[in-house]
């Protein structure tokens, strides 16, 4: 297995371009199955999760071509065959195939999805949404097995603000007969991007960006031709990396409104930055201050940036605190940070206190999930000595060309 090696102490300098959003690209690729036409997507990130989804589509007899950041999908000869469990278990996002396959074939049977361990992640919200739209739940013990001769529009509330459940509900409602009003929807930027991509292909979705969506069912969806929105999680990760190294970088393709709560916390922590149209400049910030962070659904502080933000708190003066409200498995990275010398009080599965400012020391650590992997990268960048990071397959699931991008910004980083 390859590893990443980083010698810390280098101030990041230069300009980087944020890649397309993984969390937007995956459901939009799934939505391309709703049409018999050939779809073209631009700004698709070159990461392993995208390749895994394309491998799954290959089993369904869907043709694809991925060149540069442009992905072409041809579903004209799609077949409803059993997807190998080992592929479905590679990532949680495979569950977004439920809606298009149910719409196309009136029946779908899918193994339970896998991915990073972040605590219990039930599928109830998905099943309740499909039931509200007229689907029958045949089985949910060993497989997710749904049937629906014809989906019907309905007015209902999501049982929780699950992103992937909302994305499944949106796709199903787009081709259900009648008008659906769905309340308590997730409203993250990647959910908005899915809605916009579908609307460009003939769907009729209103309320985009709010927690209530109104969807008028249509008879068919045409080809999707869409540019994937930028990855706000990548933007946040590189912004923190710059802050903890006292660096000076410009991040292009950054949408300020995607990270309103994050930028508020960065300002509170005395990080100096300036937004311009579709870019943000991070200035040297030598006097970081500890803050309290509480994650929640969009537009609150994103759960996928709380682990990277913990590194900033190790480099900030005072007692910082993180309260993770969504997943009980999101704090596992703390034990890796402690190996590097972080001063942390582990309160429970959802809450920690971090005392700074601390000099971190390079040592062998592991990437335990996608965002924990990014956290180890950031810690290594500001640590003394060399850090060896293993299990980097997690990092490569979510970050495109990470080693190359950090190298261009002046980091002493290599993979071997």
Catalytic residues: 116
C-alpha separations of 216 from 176, 204, 303 in Å: 8, 5, 32
Neighbours of 212 (CB within 10 A): 13
- Rounded Cα distance, 140 and 145, in Å: 6
- Rounded Cα distance, 334 and 339, in Å: 9
Element (H, E) at 387: strand 386-390
Angle of the 163-174 helix axis to the 98-105 helix axis, nearest 10: 20
- Rounded Cα distance, 57 and 78, in Å: 8
- Rounded Cα distance, 128 and 126, in Å: 6
Alpha helices in 36-118 (DSSP H): 48-59, 85-88, 98-105
C-alpha separations of 245 from 235, 286, 292, 381 in Å: 16, 9, 21, 7
Element (H, E) at 181: strand 179-183
Number of separate helices (H) and strands (E) present in the chain: 14, 23
Residues in the chain: 416
Neighbours of 191 (CB within 10 A): 24
- Rounded Cα distance, 87 and 113, in Å: 9
Q: 373 is written with which tokens? A: 């992997």
CA dihedral (249, 250, 256, 259) positive or negative: negative
Alpha helices in 351-392 (DSSP H): 370-381
How are strands ordered across the β-sheet holding 225-227? 63-67, 70-74, 39-42, 225-227
């Amino acid at each position: 297995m390859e590893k990443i090696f980083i010698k810390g102490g280098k101030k990041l300098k230069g300009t980087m371009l944020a890649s397309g959003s993984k969390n937007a690209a995956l459901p939009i690729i799934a939505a391309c199955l709703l049409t018999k036409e050939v779809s073209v997507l631009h700004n698709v990130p070159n990461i392993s999760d995208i390749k895994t989804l394309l491998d799954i589509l290959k089993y369904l007899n869907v043709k694809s071509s991925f060149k540069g950041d442009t992905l072409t999908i041809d579903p004209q000869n799609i077949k409803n065959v059993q997807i190998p469990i080992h592929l479905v278990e590679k990532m949680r996002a495979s569950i977004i195939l439920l809606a298009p396959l149910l719409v196309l074939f009136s029946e779908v049977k899918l193994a339970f999805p896998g991915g990073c361990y972040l605590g219990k992640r039930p599928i109830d919200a998905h099943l309740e949404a499909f039931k509200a739209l007229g689907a029958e739940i045949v089985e949910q013990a060993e497989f997710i097995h749904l049937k629906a001769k014809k989906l019907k529009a309905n007015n209902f509330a999501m049982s929780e603000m699950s992103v992937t459940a909302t994305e499944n509900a949106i796709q199903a409602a787009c081709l259900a007969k009648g008008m659906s009003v769905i309340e308590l929807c997730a409203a993250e930027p990647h959910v908005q991007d899915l809605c916009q991509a579908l609307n460009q292909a003939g769907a009729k979705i209103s309320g985009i960006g709010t927690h209530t969506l109104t969807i008028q069912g249509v008879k068919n969806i045409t080809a999707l031709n869409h540019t994937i929105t930028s990855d706000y999680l990548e933007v946040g990760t590189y912004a923190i990396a710059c802050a903890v190294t006292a660096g000076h970088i410009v991040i292009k393709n950054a949408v300020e409104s995607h990270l309103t709560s994050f930028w508020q916390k960065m300002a509170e922590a005395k990080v100096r930055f300036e937004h311009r149209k579709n870019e943000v400049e991070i200035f040297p910030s030598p006097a970081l201050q500890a803050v309290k962070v509480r994650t929640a659904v969009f537009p609150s502080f994103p759960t996928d940036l709380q682990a990277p933000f913990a590194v900033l708190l190790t480099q900030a003066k005072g007692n910082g605190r993180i309260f993770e409200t969504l997943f009980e498995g999101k704090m596992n990275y703390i034990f890796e940070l402690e190996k590097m010398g972080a001063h942390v009080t582990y309160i429970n599965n959802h809450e920690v206190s971090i005392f700074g400012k601390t000099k971190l020391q390079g040592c062998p650590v592991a990437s335990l999930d996608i965002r924990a992997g990014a956290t180890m990268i950031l810690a290594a960048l500001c640590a003394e000595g060399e850090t060896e990071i293993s299990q980097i397959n997690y990092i490569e699931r979510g970050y495109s060309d990470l080693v190359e991008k950090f190298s261009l910004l002046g980091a002493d980083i290599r993979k071997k």
